[in-house]
């Protein structure tokens, strides 16, 4: 699917945001603690600082088993999924 544009109107959690079209996007390859769990608010704050109110482009990869839209997201040329991964919020197992 081709990239689409929208404005990030709300960050729901460190791995999920809502767009100006009403679409809720879950970031592919990003694993964060739930809001309320240790580190969850920090992850949400980081994603908020990077995306909230910004024009984003996104490419939907799939709808997961729960019917959620899973996508790669960019702000300008920055891949937000990769950026969150660089902060340690990725699918890599922790040892």
Instruction: Report pTM.
Output: 0.90
Helices (H) and strands (E) in the chain, counts: 2, 6
Each residue of 30-69: pLDDT tens digit? 999 988 898 999 999 999 999 999 999 999 999 988 888 9
Question: What's the confidence (pLDDT) of residue 29?
Answer: 95
For residue 81, what pLDDT is reported?
97
Q: Residue 59: which of 90, 28, 20 has the closest Cα? A: 28
Tell me what pLDDT residue 95 has.
42
Task: Please report the pLDDT score of residue 92 as a whole number.
Answer: 59
User: What six digits make up the tokens of 64?
Assistant: 């997961």
């Amino acid at each position: 699917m081709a990239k689409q544009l929208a404005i990030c109107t709300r960050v729901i959690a460190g791995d999920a945001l809502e767009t100006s079209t009403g679409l809720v996007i879950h970031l592919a390859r990003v694993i964060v603690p739930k809001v309320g769990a240790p580190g969850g608010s920090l992850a949400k704050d980081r994603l908020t600082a990077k995306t909230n109110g910004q024009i984003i482009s996104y490419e939907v990869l799939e709808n997961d088993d729960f019917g959620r839209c899973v996508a790669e997201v960019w702000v300008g040329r920055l891949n937000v999924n990769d950026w969150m991964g660089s902060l340690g919020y990725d699918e890599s197992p922790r040892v």
